[in-house]
Amino acid sequence: EAQVTQNPRYLITVTGKKLTVTCSQNMNHEYMSWYRQDPGLGLRQIYYSMNVEVTDKGDVPEGYKVSRKEKRNFPLILESPSPNQTSLYFCASSFRGISNQPQHFGDGTRLSIL
Amino acid sequence: TQLLEQSPQFLSIQEGENLTVYCNSSSVFSSLQWYRQEPGEGPVLLVTVVTGGEVKKLKRLTFQFGDARKDSSLHITAAQPGDTGLYLCAGTGRSQGNLIFGKGTKLSVKP
């Protein structure tokens, strides 16, 4: 089954403790992206990757890192998480870019930073 | 900065009613996408509109792209409880990989 898989689905952690949210897709998609969704602010793009070894900042990249060492994986790294990064996170992928390309989303990761 | 403004923010209607959701911008978009998101899940693409003036139909849902490609609308005919969800419009932002979303319209259809 074609899918985007995020792990973990839920995480409660404390300020300053490094964490990684993994994202994997099995559709051989070139493009992958991370978003956060907050009440009243909607979905905002954190980082995106047009292809392997190519990453770019989205609209809210501060406090996050990403890497794209292989096509299927696009982990989101929070080196020193803070409470303002408490949010619902989504990973998405598409065949190539975003222009006229449907984005396939994972089911989300709910992060709580205490 | 490109922005997509959706209205209304919330909509609560009875089964069988019609409704329209709007997605507006002051910028021109090469295309716009509409997604629906249900609680606990990621957004799912409904349609992409590409040509100014384009109208696309998906069963009881009708999507329109404005002639100037600055706005789009989603019309639902005879809404059903299964239409309940968050409707999002999205378009390309400041670069080819930058996808921006409107804040969404939360629709509740009561039986």
Per-residue confidence at A4, pLDDT binned at 50, 70, 90? very high
The residue in chain B having the minimum alpha-carbon distance to the alpha carbon of residue A89 is: B42
What pLDDT does residue B95 have? 86
Q: Is A38 exposed, middle or buried (0-12, 13-18, 19+ CB in 10 A)?
A: middle
DSSP B93: -
- pLDDT, tens digit, for every residue of B27-78? 999 899 999 999 889 999 999 999 999 999 999 999 999 999 999 999 999 9
Per-residue confidence at A98, pLDDT binned at 50, 70, 90? confident
What pLDDT does residue B71 have? 95
Chain B CB contacts of A102 under 8 Å are 33, 45, 48
Judge whether residue B1 has pLDDT over 90: no
Please tell me the distance in Å from A93's CA to the nearest CA on chain B: 11
- The average pLDDT across B21-31 equals 94
The residue in chain A having the minimum alpha-carbon distance to the alpha carbon of residue B51 is: A100
Question: What is the percent of chain B where pLDDT is above 90?
Answer: 89
* C-beta pairs of A63-66 under 8 Å, 24+ apart in sequence: A64/A34, A66/A34
Query: For B2-40, b where at least 16 C-beta lie within 10 A, e where not — what string?
Result: eebebeeeebebeeeeebebbbbbeeebebbbbbbbeee
| Cα A32 from Cα B26, distance rounded (Å) | 28
| Cβ–Cβ below 8 Å for B97 and A108 | no
- The average pLDDT across A61-88 equals 97
Judge whether residue B2 has pLDDT over 80: no
